[in-house]
Structure 1
Amino acid sequence: MHLRSLRSSARGARPRVLEVESVLVEQYGDLVRLAHLVLPAALGRHRRVVVAHSLVQRALTGARTVPGTTVPPPRTERPAAVPVEQALLVTVVRGALSYDRGPRRRLIPLLPRLPLVVGLSLFPRSGGADELALAQRLSEVTAAGRAAFLLRVLHSLSDDAVREVLAGAGVSRPDDALRAADGLAESAGPSAAGLLTSPEFNACALQASPTDLLRRRRRVRLGLAAGAVCAATGVTLAATLADGPAPSDGTPTSAVRAAYGPADLARTGATVWDNTSRVDFTAWPARGSRVRDEALLGRALAAWLRPARTGIRPALAPGTSAGAPVAAPRLLYAGDVDDTAVVVLYDGERIARYTEPAAGPARLSVARVDEADVTTAAAVALTASRGSERYLLAPWVAEAQTRDLLRPDVLARPLRVGGDGVTAPVPAVPAGGGCASRPVLQLRSSERIAEHHAFLLAGLGDLSPVHLTYTPLPGQGNPPRQPREATGSAALLAWAHQACGLTSLRGAGVRAVNAWDFAEQDLPDGGGQAVWTCARADSWRGPGDVTVGLRTSRDGQAEPVRTAGRARSTAACSRFGQHVVAATGWRSPKGNWFVLAAGSRAVTELRVTGDVSGARDGRTLALPAPGRPHVAVRARLASGQDLAGLDQPG
């Protein structure tokens, strides 16, 4: 009886495989979309596409062994397709979730995993702003939460079916994933289902572009050189084993020397910047009086490639990788600035500045600048001495000026720029607690790439100065305002009150700071008017910190704002966190204390609790308080959602 059961099972295996294959081919596009969206964005666009197709294709085998799906139906019934579909979903989700914990190690790494794409970069077509916003929301939840959301929306599964698929895929807490899916559905809105079927998320309708051709060529050369080095090393090792160990002199090995040198540095032509759609550091030409000084360039390369051998410890900006470049970097500058030899290199994601002072040790500073643009790639700090800094400006900067943020009514002053793009000394933001001045760069791009585009950059001790922007108060009945350059009168006035807070961001790896005036309020006791501002500092590594402040019409022109709330690593006050509410204590000109609260344009009701309790419809609130109050505030939005206020400092 036992042998007959085994033979019967073997005879049924082939129809089972054919059934799984039929369902897989029929639903291939939906399964690839599911895998592509569950996979972490950190894999990169091309690899996510290839891995998604690989997971679905390998599901043909995995779907036959999923627990709970191999029990045969009664002989009198026709086999249903639902267990097969569920088995495929379990297998695909399990494979995609494994990459959230890091890709599984392969036992035979030399065998390629199909599909194999060589020489091409594949990626879905780009969507619009709505698709980008949905992609950002998807990336903010866990992989299991994304899977639960997609199984609901794309595959129309019930919550019980979603739990069963997640449990089969190895998710230990499916209910947590469902709660994350609830939050994602609430933030994404009813349009999410339609957006998920757009080309942005379709990993079967792809665009193709070549990989980095120069890098590919260099890797081939490096591979040939490495092969020759391995052969030479084998001969040398054999001789060494025969004759005894050779003494070490501390010099780099031949393999390292063969990687690349000054002659391999990439150099951009002088006219590329106005003939390309990618206006960033890749468009910078090599400038400076020592771009042909191979000895200097060799020392700069050695400091980045082999810091331990050179004795130079790189100074890394927050969130910056310490690894050596994977290919020869691009040369941006090499020259003498203030008795210091300076070399600036760029590897596609990071800027490295090598300095050799006339008196003192050489130094290397490295900072990430991935996805820089026409403003954030407009300047690099070269040297700092005696309270001033010199900058190397981008080739598209047509006009350079300086201004003091604390004096918004004083016109900007011209800044002299040499033929090699190096500026005259610019006063630096003091590192201490004083706030007598806040100098910034005011630059204007050439009309060949952007007509009348002026912008502000603040040097805060990093290689790349910080881009300052401004979002004005919301208008009546108008759509939400977008950030703009902080060069207008209203922007300069807002930044005059925010300027002293820039000191806290010094050396923090900040990319840009936006000052958003989100509410205005009439104050009691003849206190005039108040404007609430949310200052968001976005870092190069991704997270952003916010500070909400309050300024009144009775304050001096550059008096610092009163801090009402802070939050770290938050989406608040960004395009992905468009609602904010905060509260603070305020003392009127008559000496009376009040609780003030305000929210952004979608707020319809405010509630405060703590030393003072109360509620009021609208976007602003003012309640009498007995002394300096400490309260918590919450708001209700027009959508019915509840919004917590930012924490009060202290």
Structure 2
Amino acid sequence: MQSQDVAPRPAPGSGSAAASSSSDPLVDVEQAEAALVEHYPRLVRLAYLVLPPGLGRNRRVVTAHALTQRALPRRRTPAPVIPAQSTGREGDPGYAFVRLQVLRTALEAGLPLTFRAWPKRSQLPPLLPQVWGLRLFPRSGGADELALDQRLSALSGPARAAYVLRGLEKLPDGDVREVLTTAGIDDVDDALDEADEVPAQYALLDSPEFDPCSLQARPTDLMRRRQHLKAALAAAAAVAVCGALLGLPGDGWAPDGAAAPSYAQNPSAQAALDPANLTKVPDTAWQSASRTDFSVWPARGELTGDKALLRRALAVWARPGETVQVSATPGTPSGGPAGPPQLLYAGDVDNARVVILYDGLRIARYAEPKDGTKGAALDFARVDGATGAESNAVVLGRADGNVRYLTAPWVKKAAERDLLKPGAGAMDLTLTDGVTSPLASAALQTGACTSWNVLQLTDASGTRLSTDLGELVPARLTTGRPGSERDATGAAALRAWAPFACSLSAVRSQGVRSVNAWEYATQSLPDASGSASWVCTRAETWRGGGTRVLAQFHTPGGAYGAVAAKAENVPACGPRDPHVLAGVLWKSEAGSWYLLAAGGRGTASITATGGVDGSAQGNLLAVKTKAGAQAGLQGELENGRSINALR
């Protein structure tokens, strides 16, 4: 769909598709620099919108600035005569040249890296600018901006460029064709046709959501930075010690499979790596145990007696070789076991031999190809203090977009359910010695979020849902007010989770223990637009810190909820502080813009500050405003305590 203020597309060949000619005006460095400085915010916004969304908001911001700052020519250069349509830029060859350079490098940044050619500079992370210890991202817009960003992310790079040139630069399609052709795009018609599939909401491109010059700053994961620093210091000390030991006489141990050579002769360490000393729990131990967790899982699998495999797994755990792929969830130590660990599983899974071990703090998964040890992998997950529900399953392997689980011995039934379709029912999975048949993994899906499959397990105490977030232990899904959470298995709980299932992708690979979704407010929308729900989702981690909190806004008829605010490492929306306050700019069907805000139970009043002036008694606020308004929110609880909006 094209806007009426955009000129019709010319027939192929009617516009100039050639590169710069000798008749094009010359642009010197000073002229290009003047254009870049004058229009820097618009050029950076153009680069940010064209860059692939898969880079993440922080890297897109930094890369957009880097590409724009590198757009100056080194000497006088011919510039193609492509008119600019906005006031102050008509006929400016300096601006046309700089814009073309920004567009070309932004498109190159989206090209995949291959082994057939050296990567271009724009395809690599920028050396400058860099901001250490901070994540930078534009201010959040409203639900419409989020929806447009999702639609643009589904387009190819050339199609995004076509849409942005139409909407941000106000270029007619003839000039869009010339710019894209000059930038090196071969299938310009395909790009224009693909851009037509996105509604022409060009005014939204000027929103703060897409402004990489007006930024918010948040710290990176402070705990992870401290852990990395400690790990680096420990690694440096280990290298120094190993270097000294290498100079000592003696034969030492030979490599054991994919394990690195060992020069230690500590009897306790050797005993911990002896397969004969592995702890193997009897099959029925869980039935009489005072608690149900990983410590009462029996050893299962057809290779529990393969001492050579078990020795390799233990040796790699203690000293992984250079070719071993090692991963650990945040906050999980990856050192060797302090004593003989417990064996949970050893067997063939798809095309690999897999060993699952437990040392009371961590689950360790060793996997090697069936035809050798090259390409072995070692994964760790922290599971200390796991309850019965949190120790129901462990990932055995992922292949072809599917995942297999090893379930607890007390699990009686397993099923697969699409969280986006609460009324569709669950599909039963077969259980063979605790191993499930494959089910589609939400953590492995790419592209648009059209489904979110979760694992449903039933035991004597009830039914529970867990979701794969790319780690060894799936995260438990719950609903309810903080402190009174319950498993998300009832019909009402499933309906409550459905609009927000796709937001689980924001907490992949973060060491998440459980995620709770809580509808803290409902709000009647202005202009008789129905009723909206406000939901807070809080992801708790195994390490305690690193929590992720999202306040989400769901309007009638919408398939997905929109993220209104998010925060990390805050007590809000949790057992310690269940209160939450968030707001969003919303456009009614009548075309009017409003600032909507909602607080949880116990909120006495809400006041808007900054660019929007308004207040309301109670936990709901609706103030008429205009698109792009900047506002702050302040709330007061019934006990007199002030709270700020989640951010």
258, 271, 276: which one pairs with 1:263? Answer: 276
| Structure 1 residues 375 and 249: alpha-carbon distance in aligned structure 2, compared to 1, 3 A threshold | closer
Find the aligned partners of 2:379 and 2:427 in 1 and give their Cα distance. 30
Question: 1:447-479, CA deviations, whole angstroms, 9 ceiling, x for partnerless residues?
Answer: 2xx2xx11101011100011111116xxxxxxx
How is 1:60-99 mapped onto 2 (pairs within 5 angstroms)? none
Say if 2:470 is the partner of 1:468: no
Say if 2:446 is the partner of 1:437: no
The two structures have a TM-score, normalised by structure 2, of: 0.58
Paired position in structure 1 for 2:496? 494
| Structure 1 residues 513 and 259: alpha-carbon distance in aligned structure 2, compared to 1, 3 A threshold | closer
Q: Is the 8 A contact 1:534 1:548 kept in 2?
A: yes
Q: Is the 8 A contact 1:512 1:539 kept in 2?
A: yes
How many Å apart are 1:313 and its aligned residue? 4.6
423, 442, 445: which one pairs with 2:436? Answer: 423
How many Å apart are 1:563 and its aligned residue? 1.3
Find the aligned partners of 1:459 and 1:273 in 2 and give their Cα distance. 25
How is 1:221-370 mapped onto 2 (pairs within 5 angstroms)? 245-246=249-250, 250=254, 252=262, 253-255=264-266, 256-308=269-321, 311-358=323-370, 360-370=374-384
* Letter matched to residue 498 of structure 2: A
**Secondary structure in 2 matching 1:461:** coil
Say if 2:554 is the partner of 1:551: yes
Paired position in structure 2 for 1:595? 595
| Structure 1 residues 247 and 358: alpha-carbon distance in aligned structure 2, compared to 1, 3 A threshold | closer
Q: Is the 8 A contact 2:397 2:403 kept in 1?
A: yes
The structure showing larger relative contact order (alpha-carbon pairs under 8 Å, at least 6 residues apart) is 2
Paired position in structure 2 for 1:633? 633
How many Å apart are 1:431 and its aligned residue? 4.2
User: For the aligned residues, what is the CA RMSD?
Assistant: 2.0
509, 531, 534: which one pairs with 1:532? Answer: 534
Q: Is the 8 A contact 2:414 2:455 kept in 1?
A: yes
Find the aligned partners of 1:311 and 1:329 in 2 and give their Cα distance. 24
**Secondary structure in 2 matching 1:464:** coil
Q: Is the 8 A contact 1:316 1:365 kept in 2?
A: yes
Find the aligned partners of 1:363 and 1:329 in 2 and give their Cα distance. 18
* Letter matched to residue 416 of structure 1: T
Find the aligned partners of 1:501 and 1:462 in 2 and give their Cα distance. 17
How many Å apart are 1:566 and its aligned residue? 0.7
Find the aligned partners of 1:554 and 1:335 in 2 and give their Cα distance. 48
Gaps of 5+ in 2: 1-244, 255-260
Q: Is the 8 A contact 1:405 1:495 kept in 2?
A: yes
Question: 1:331-359, CA deviations, whole angstroms, 9 ceiling, x for partnerless residues?
Answer: 10011111311100000010000011225
Q: Is the 8 A contact 1:392 1:421 kept in 2?
A: yes
Q: Is the 8 A contact 1:462 1:509 kept in 2?
A: yes
| Structure 1 residues 291 and 624: alpha-carbon distance in aligned structure 2, compared to 1, 3 A threshold | same
Paired position in structure 1 for 2:55? none
Q: Is the 8 A contact 1:431 1:506 kept in 2?
A: no
Find the aligned partners of 1:548 and 1:481 in 2 and give their Cα distance. 18
Q: Is the 8 A contact 1:584 1:630 kept in 2?
A: no
The two structures have a TM-score, normalised by structure 1, of: 0.58
Question: 1:502-544, CA deviations, whole angstroms, 9 ceiling, x for partnerless residues?
Answer: 1222222111110010011111101111110000011111121
393, 396, 418: which one pairs with 1:382? Answer: 396
How many Å apart are 1:246 and its aligned residue? 4.1
Q: Which moved more, 1:396-405 or 1:257-266?
A: 257-266
Q: Is the 8 A contact 1:266 1:330 kept in 2?
A: yes
Question: 1:212-240, CA deviations, whole angstroms, 9 ceiling, x for partnerless residues?
Answer: xxxxxxxxxxxxxxxxxxxxxxxxx9xxx
How is 1:68-147 mapped onto 2 (pairs within 5 angstroms)? none
Say if 2:612 is the partner of 1:609: no
| Structure 1 residues 247 and 329: alpha-carbon distance in aligned structure 2, compared to 1, 3 A threshold | closer
Which structure would you say has the larger Rg? 1
How is 1:495-510 mapped onto 2 (pairs within 5 angstroms)? 495-510=497-512
| Structure 1 residues 275 and 617: alpha-carbon distance in aligned structure 2, compared to 1, 3 A threshold | same
| Structure 1 residues 267 and 410: alpha-carbon distance in aligned structure 2, compared to 1, 3 A threshold | same
Find the aligned partners of 1:535 and 1:629 in 2 and give their Cα distance. 26
**Secondary structure in 1 matching 2:499:** helix
**Secondary structure in 2 matching 1:511:** strand
* Letter matched to residue 484 of structure 1: R
* Letter matched to residue 436 of structure 2: T
Question: 1:389-418, CA deviations, whole angstroms, 9 ceiling, x for partnerless residues?
Answer: 111001111111101011111011111110
| Structure 1 residues 640 and 366: alpha-carbon distance in aligned structure 2, compared to 1, 3 A threshold | same
How many Å apart are 1:311 and its aligned residue? 5.0
How many Å apart are 1:271 and its aligned residue? 1.2
* Letter matched to residue 546 of structure 1: V
